[in-house]
Chains A and B, each alone.
Chain A
């Protein structure tokens, strides 16, 4: 597989593992958070944890847009889809996410709501064109990676005069969430893990570039290395982080230079800034209200804003008090530290955000890595 196999070469991977082992100083602890769910998934899928020395630990961050969507937004989407005139278009991995009453879009669909799984924003446009008498709403979600396609979709809907098409916007921003992990009022309650550096997002950074992370690296004194999703990318980025820690540096370095530049994709950024503006705050499942971390449509595009069009109201709902997602998302606790993990909370019946999507920390550990828990107990 061209452009993938090159980054999965086991000989090079073992060489990098040896280099990490040699350079990681035995008396030190290295705790690196991979922000991105794609990184969490890949670390588990390829078994990379087994290749790192014991004093280099990966902490799984909140970087999965499905995981961090609060139950209240799912409730809003379900209420919207249950309106008889509405067709709701959603990405497939949102279908099983539970709202506050345990109901999901999948169960709402089974009870008769017109919900369509789509694979791209263009599918939603096509559905809207084919059903001009329906109110077709696209459930937009994702970090900076998926925001430009939503912007393009809105522009296309405007060009095509789609009068009954709108967007339920749930796009969120990465740097704000990283900031919140390092500094937010919740830390007083749940504590903060010492993160020695970040494995920075890949696809997100292809859009926003590496520049937005520079202030974080400086302000908090943490090295950040932007890394691709292939195993060799991650191993190399971990080595780069180990070196920064050893040398006392806290810079933004770019391992994923084949896709990411300092300034990012200007055209995509312009599309997004033309159509969206910052919300004052947005709720993240597990992290609470994070200032300036979400996007909404600008007033000029209000006709495409489903929240305005259908006068949707958000009612915040509390997560299960036994759920440790807030602490797990910040790396303070591990999935197995949560009493719900693997008992009432599994990928089939997820309770907390970390189990909701396959890229969540708990789901990745349950699906790929839970055998290690038993190995630990035996040892």
Chain B
């Protein structure tokens, strides 16, 4: 059925989501066709089925899913929509795969503004088109006021992995180098500063970005010498390296001075009592690379705009305790541990 057959036009400027937009009736169909189809526009969605049949190239399939419950929904450098696209593309790409298709599921709170929903959907469409990825199926639910924090989005991504590539944490070996694609803590600090209504002299912008092109360059340069790739999202670099340490049975030794952190981010973290190593990133990756190919992979990273600040920050070491240790700028040592619970500002 064509969108023009529906009775009332969506009032995108002033309208609000009501329960009828999730009830499965005409209003819901109108929302999907008038807002989501328009924003995501592609041949699979246009067919209007409950599922999408699609072609895949040669190789192994990769699949991932993620939920996005960020608050605030809009932040410097993006919004929940672009984040939901970038985040899932990155999870596919961290396997070394080429992302192809996404699904998107929306849980919307009654009373949510159409104008905000349109902004979010448009930025999803834009992010997907820029990445050469299609949002080909989805779902919409509306819940009563107070039962969701405005909007939750879940996205699932599929991609294709070239034969011969098999990245996994247990493949890390003693002596492997730890490469990071750029400065840490930008996304989490941007979110926190917005939550606290802190106005810094330099606005801190989220690093939200799709990393699959950068990954493709790295894979071309390093191939199977790249043992593991992971994006340090929630929990930051610290949680991610501790995860890999436990999965591989190794430890890591980092050099604090080599770890890139923007001065504005470092200053904001000082103010908020946070550690940039625990703060979330949405456009950065960490690669564990065999030592003989580390320089070549690092050079490939630096050749891409999203990896221009890439750095070699340390190495994998034999350690039965699987500690992630760091030499501080003063020549002392410390552990870089998991965060206990949520990172919360300190009293004093």
B344 at the interface (CB under 8 A from A): yes
Shortest Cβ gap from B17 to chain A (Å): 24
Q: A93-B346, A93-B347, A143-B348 are in contact. Are A13 and B330 (CB under 8 A)?
A: yes
* Distance in angstroms between the alpha carbons of A44 and B342 in the assembled complex: 20
Residue in A4, A46, A91, A106 whose beta carbon sits within 8 Å of that of B328 in the complex: A46
CB under 8 Å from chain A, chain B span 314-339: 321, 323, 325, 327-335, 337
* Distance in angstroms between the alpha carbons of A358 and B270 in the assembled complex: 15
Shortest Cβ gap from B268 to chain A (Å): 10
Chain B residues closer than 8 Å to A231, beta-carbon distance = 330
Could you tell me if A371 and B333 are in contact, using CB atoms closer than 8 angstroms?
Answer: yes
Shortest Cβ gap from A307 to chain B (Å): 20
Could you tell me if A4 and B330 are in contact, using CB atoms closer than 8 angstroms?
Answer: no
Shortest Cβ gap from A95 to chain B (Å): 7
Q: Give the total of A residues in contact with B, Cβ under 8 Å.
A: 48
Chain B residues closer than 8 Å to A119, beta-carbon distance = 196, 345
* Distance in angstroms between the alpha carbons of A359 and B344 in the assembled complex: 12
Query: Which chain A residue shows the least CB distance to B320?
Result: A374
A334 at the interface (CB under 8 A from B): no
Could you tell me if A368 and B337 are in contact, using CB atoms closer than 8 angstroms?
Answer: yes
Chain B residues closer than 8 Å to A175, beta-carbon distance = none
Chain B interface helix/strand/loop/mixed = loop
Residue in A1, A46, A374 whose beta carbon sits within 8 Å of that of B332 in the complex: A46
Q: A370-B335, A371-B323 are in contact. Are A46 and B346 (CB under 8 A)?
A: no
Could you tell me if A371 and B335 are in contact, using CB atoms closer than 8 angstroms?
Answer: yes
A326 at the interface (CB under 8 A from B): no
CB under 8 Å from chain B, chain A span 1-33: 1, 4, 8, 10, 13-14
CB under 8 Å from chain A, chain B span 63-81: none
CB under 8 Å from chain B, chain A span 354-379: 357-359, 363, 366-372, 374
Could you tell me if B330 and A146 are in contact, using CB atoms closer than 8 angstroms?
Answer: no
Could you tell me if B348 and A95 are in contact, using CB atoms closer than 8 angstroms?
Answer: no
Could you tell me if B337 and A8 are in contact, using CB atoms closer than 8 angstroms?
Answer: no
Which one of B323, B330, B337, B344 has the greatest number of beta carbons of chain A within 10 Å?
A: B330
Could you tell me if B321 and A374 are in contact, using CB atoms closer than 8 angstroms?
Answer: yes
A145 at the interface (CB under 8 A from B): yes
Could you tell me if A49 and B337 are in contact, using CB atoms closer than 8 angstroms?
Answer: no
B267 at the interface (CB under 8 A from A): yes
Residue in B275, B323, B330 whose beta carbon sits within 8 Å of that of A51 in the complex: B330
* Distance in angstroms between the alpha carbons of A5 and B266 in the assembled complex: 11
Could you tell me if B346 and A358 are in contact, using CB atoms closer than 8 angstroms?
Answer: yes
Shortest Cβ gap from B171 to chain A (Å): 25
Chain B residues closer than 8 Å to A95, beta-carbon distance = 344
B341 at the interface (CB under 8 A from A): yes
B25 at the interface (CB under 8 A from A): no
A142 at the interface (CB under 8 A from B): yes
Query: Which chain B residue shows the least CB distance to A201?
Result: B348
Residues 100-112 of chain A: 1 if any B CB is under 8 Å from the residue's CB, otherwise 0? 0000001000000
Residue in A4, A203, A367 whose beta carbon sits within 8 Å of that of B337 in the complex: A367
CB under 8 Å from chain A, chain B span 298-323: 321, 323
Shortest Cβ gap from A152 to chain B (Å): 16
Could you tell me if B335 and A367 are in contact, using CB atoms closer than 8 angstroms?
Answer: yes
Chain B residues closer than 8 Å to A374, beta-carbon distance = 321
Could you tell me if B347 and A66 are in contact, using CB atoms closer than 8 angstroms?
Answer: yes
Residues 74-100 of chain A: 1 if any B CB is under 8 Å from the residue's CB, otherwise 0? 000000000000000001111110000
Chain B residues closer than 8 Å to A146, beta-carbon distance = 347-348
Shortest Cβ gap from A284 to chain B (Å): 16
Could you tell me if B346 and A368 are in contact, using CB atoms closer than 8 angstroms?
Answer: no
Query: Which chain A residue shows the least CB distance to B261?
Result: A1
A141 at the interface (CB under 8 A from B): yes
Could you tell me if B332 and A47 are in contact, using CB atoms closer than 8 angstroms?
Answer: yes
Chain B residues closer than 8 Å to A1, beta-carbon distance = 263, 266-267, 270
Which one of A4, A50, A366 has the greatest number of beta carbons of chain B within 10 Å?
A: A50
Shortest Cβ gap from A23 to chain B (Å): 19
B130 at the interface (CB under 8 A from A): no
B340 at the interface (CB under 8 A from A): yes
Could you tell me if A50 and B270 are in contact, using CB atoms closer than 8 angstroms?
Answer: no
Chain A residues closer than 8 Å to B342, beta-carbon distance = 92
* Distance in angstroms between the alpha carbons of A45 and B346 in the assembled complex: 15
Residues 246-274 of chain B: 1 if any A CB is under 8 Å from the residue's CB, otherwise 0? 00000000000000000100110010000
Q: A96-B341, A145-B348 are in contact. Are A44 and B334 (CB under 8 A)?
A: yes
* Distance in angstroms between the alpha carbons of A338 and B345 in the assembled complex: 28
A187 at the interface (CB under 8 A from B): no
Could you tell me if A368 and B334 are in contact, using CB atoms closer than 8 angstroms?
Answer: yes
Supply 19 further A-B pairs (C-beta < 8 A) apart from A359-B346, A363-B340, A369-B335: A4-B267, A8-B329, A38-B348, A46-B330, A47-B333, A65-B348, A66-B347, A92-B345, A93-B344, A95-B344, A96-B341, A119-B196, A145-B348, A347-B340, A347-B341, A348-B340, A367-B337, A367-B340, A371-B321
A-B contact pairs, 9 of them (CB 8 A): A1-B270, A4-B267, A47-B327, A49-B332, A51-B332, A65-B348, A117-B344, A119-B196, A142-B348
